[in-house]
Chains A and B, each alone.
Chain A
Amino acid sequence: MTTSFPPAMRSRPVYGVLTARPGTGHLIVADGEGADAVTDMIAAATDAAAMLARSHIIYVPGPTGTDRAETLRALGAAQFHRSPSFAACLPRLQKVLADAQMGMQIYVAGTEGVIGQVQQQAMLAGLPWQAVQTEHRGSTVRRVQCVHCKGITEAVRTDPFPCSHCGLNLFVRDHYSRRIAAFQGVNIDAEDPGQVPPPVERFA
């Protein structure tokens, strides 16, 4: 099932449900449980075989270890690529976006970090972010940028958490930047250095 989130501030992204649309090509990116959103979409497509014949699927195992690469490979898309991490598939994704022809459909499903970064790459390639269909599935871990050192920590589970770059203890705001593809992390003990509340697992 697609993930439902509690109400949050207005900059927080809202995700939809992937729906196959007519297109000259289909770029499909997923991580972790996002694979299920892809198989659901293909199952509901009116002409799945024709769609798959023009599809390029990029899949990354999820942050909690979910790996459904073989399920997606078995769909028989024109191109399928399993990447060990999102960072590793970035050059390939950038090439596909740069080569994209008018009418190519873009779909992304899985965790917020991967959804946000695919939208970010689409924007960098000159496409409107609204052109990317999104669906959240699986882990709710967050990608968070430290507002102080600007370093990004991936797959944040707890609030607060230590910045993986500068080490400051950060609390996780719901404020989200599409351009950076990350939530904002702010030093929690700036006013009282050393007084850090115990971390709570908010994102699983």
Chain B
Amino acid sequence: MGLEFNDETFRGDYTFRNSAKAIARFPFPFAEDSYMYSVNMEPHLPGRPGSVFEHMFDVDEHYVAEMRDRAQVLAEDPLRCQSLPHMTLAGWDLLELIMESKARDYPQWFSLTKDGNRWHWINRPLQIEQSFTFLDETTLPYGPMEYITRQTQGDFTLQDQRDDNLWIEAGMVTTQADWSLDFDIGMSFHEWHAPVPLAHEMRVFDRALKFLLNLQLGAPVRRFNWTMTVDPLLDTSPENYPKWGPSKTTMTPETIGHRQHLRVELQTLHRLPRSNAIVFPIRCYLIKFEELVTVPKWARRLHRVVRDIPDELATYKGFIRNKPLMLDYLSKYDDGAPTSPGIWPE
């Protein structure tokens, strides 16, 4: 097939870059020229061919390098992947969902064959071949959630549903926008969202929880979230904040185009069949400002969003310090022309 996997890094020399094809399919998150919190959920249905919505779990040119980065994060800090004891069944549900989706959507790379509970999985890009017994943990080298999420881009959390609430009780979190699974594991829906400003007062989380408690099997939904990241660092964890925090202070007008990245999370939510848990994949996409401005509509719109965002949100998202530098850079690409509705390039 046409896609090759990049040999690139998300740390150290930061060789990550997007090809022209990856830029064209980047999930630009702003459907209009301004931004405020909203639940903004839509069905996660197969979308435009070639877009990140085409398949249930998008596999792109960064796949192999991202999995290498995840393995490094886990070697340095095993607490990034945790599962409370009662969540193992949800892990199997997730393993099944991912294996079946990838084998169906990318048969050139993934294959799953079943003989009753005897399953055989092939992952060609990562050169993995595994025979195992479904629902028998002793037949895999890791627990089921860890096994499959070491082979799947994006962070994952598993939520148990009980007492009319969702409880975050398992997760693989190595590409996070500054939140700690180790600290949050075991919390209820409102508890783990507690640090988010403004949204509680807007009752965003009340409505989101009500919606999610009724999420149906086979009817996944999706939404975007976004922030800003200096250098293409996937692991912007609170644990490592003293290591990456100083990078924000070293940006200049000369380096901002190359070093400043828009970080977009494609978040999907799926009900799981046996456990009745909800899996929340949080897929991170990075794009350099200099890559993004090659799409004129996106450049104009990002300038307007950053210009008009409330300081409280820019502070929470961690980019208030560099907002003036960003605006200087982006304003050069905003001629004031109107932009068309929706996220797609004009």
Contacts and interface: CB of A to CB of B under 8 A. Distances in A.
B241 A177 contact: no
Interface string B261-294: 0000000000000000000000000000000000
Interface of B: 79, 180, 182-187, 190-195, 200, 238-242, 245-246, 248-249, 321
B238 A186 contact: yes
B246 A193 contact: yes
A186 to B, nearest CB: 6
A148 interface: yes
A9 B196 CA distance: 9
Interface in A136-189: 145, 147-148, 150, 168, 173-180, 184, 186-187
A190 interface: yes
A130 to B, nearest CB: 9
A193 B191 CA distance: 30
28 contacts: A9-B200, A10-B193, A10-B194, A11-B187, A11-B192, A11-B194, A12-B194, A145-B183, A147-B180, A147-B183, A147-B239, A147-B241, A150-B79, A150-B182, A174-B194, A177-B186, A177-B187, A178-B187, A179-B185, A179-B186, A179-B187, A184-B183, A187-B241, A187-B245, A190-B241, A190-B246, A191-B246, A193-B246
Interface of A: 9-12, 145, 147-148, 150, 168, 173-180, 184, 186-187, 190-193
Contacts of B248: 191
Contacts of A150: 79, 182
Q: What DSSP secondary structure best describes chain A's contact surface?
A: loop
A132 to B, nearest CB: 15
Contact of B191 (A11, A168, A187): A11
Given A11-B194, A147-B238, A148-B239, A190 B245 contact: yes
Contacts of B241: 147-148, 186-187, 190
Contacts of B182: 150
Q: Which of A148, A174, A178 is the most central at the interface, judged by chain B CB atoms within 10 Å of its CB?
A: A148
B282 to A, nearest CB: 19
Nearest to A191: B245
B236 to A, nearest CB: 12
Contacts of A9: 194-195, 200
Nearest to A149: B239
Contacts, number: 65
A180 B238 contact: no
A111 to B, nearest CB: 21
Nearest to A8: B194
A193 B185 CA distance: 30
A176 B185 CA distance: 11
Contacts of B187: 11, 177-179
Contacts of A180: 183
Given A175-B195, A192-B249, A10 B183 contact: no
Contacts of B200: 9-10
A150 B191 CA distance: 20
B84 to A, nearest CB: 9
Given A9-B200, A147-B241, A186-B241, 16 more contacts: A147-B239, A148-B239, A148-B241, A168-B242, A177-B183, A177-B187, A178-B186, A179-B185, A179-B186, A187-B241, A187-B245, A190-B242, A190-B245, A191-B246, A191-B249, A191-B321
Contacts of A192: 246, 249
Contacts of A193: 242, 246
A175 B183 contact: yes
B249 A10 contact: no
Contacts of B242: 148, 168, 187, 190, 193
Contacts of A177: 183-184, 186-187
